[in-house]
Structure 1
């Protein structure tokens, strides 16, 4: 039963994952197992944590964005999030990710 896929609605900006399409606005519709949702939730949590570290680091103004490890972590994790959404998402989600160029390895899958 745990490997059974369910429909979820994902909002990337807030890191929200819901089974209700009417609970709040959403960006992507995906089909995922409980384990896949747990992995996606962990990625959103990693972005949240790195974002707070970046907030505190921002008070050190001499470190530029491209030398900031927290920003690199957020960028890499966001790409992993979009990769998961691409793999689990419906055709509309995949088309949006393709059109926006949100992940770099997309051509290897097509």
Structure 2
């Protein structure tokens, strides 16, 4: 059974209460789909820490770092899942921003 969730990408938050904190996207998702989205957020958090340490290693350029590739790939997965589960306003926003690669 699908339920309504409110997603805050910057904070990696998933809430069923629209007034709990500011949110970016509204979706309808099953428990399994929310677990998948949470796993993507966890991967992003992990990549952020790896990127933090990489940033303090000046001889590795961004475009030559597999950590950044993993982060970028996971962000695409997050937006793809949000797009798939999102309401019309969510999909329009993602389309207008050109966030997803074709």
What's the C-alpha RMSD, in Å, of the aligned pairs? 0.6
Q: Does 1:21 align with 2:7?
A: no
Hey, which bits of structure 1, 4+ residues long, moved more than 2 A?
Answer: none
Residue equivalent to 1:8: 5
Unaligned runs of 5+ in 2: none
Residue equivalent to 2:32: 35
Unaligned runs of 5+ in 1: 106-110
State the 1:7 CA deviation.
Answer: 0.2
State the 1:41 CA deviation.
Answer: 0.3
1:66 aligned to which of 63, 67, 70: 63
Alignment length (residue pairs):
102
Per-residue Cα deviation, 1:24-76 (whole angstroms, up to 9, x for no partner): 00000000000000000000000000110111121110111101111111111
State the 1:104 CA deviation.
Answer: 1.1
TM-score, with structure 1 as normaliser? 0.90
State the 1:77 CA deviation.
Answer: 0.4
State the 1:13 CA deviation.
Answer: 1.1
Residue equivalent to 2:45: 48
1:89 aligned to which of 67, 86, 91: 86
